[in-house]
Amino acid sequence: MRETLSKFSSWKKLHADQLVVGLLECRCRILGSRSLKEKRSVVKSGLERVRQRFNLSTAEVGAQDDRQMAMMAVGGVASDKRLLERELTLALNLLENIDGLEIIDADISFL
């Protein structure tokens, strides 16, 4: 077991510079939403479309009890920062084109 952990630590040190984690955070307004059910339908639709089109993880991460606001996060892991930044930007563009969803603020960051 220790030998396996030691090999992993060595591999991790060698390859850490090749691992990039990216995060897109969006604050959104749900247009015309009169209920949480309507809001969740719009949010779910947007996040599902991102998941289907890109190899990214998505979640609603805040304002879950507000029928007109949503906080969404999209994350990914890659070996190339430019590729991951491009995918996150394309995911943001896709979210901007979802009917009933207005992006108020968005930020892409890398860990």
CA dihedral 75, 78, 80, 81 (to 10 degrees): 20
Q: Which two tokens stand for residue 45?
A: 């639709």
CB atoms inside a 10 Å sphere around CB 37: 9
Per-residue pLDDT reduced to its tens digit, 20-58: 999 999 999 999 888 999 999 999 999 999 999 998 999
pTM of the model: 0.80
Per-residue pLDDT reduced to its tens digit, 67-86: 899 999 999 999 999 999 99
Q: Which two tokens stand for residue 89?
A: 């930007």
DSSP 59-88: EEEE-TT-SSEEEEEEEEEES-HHHHHHHH
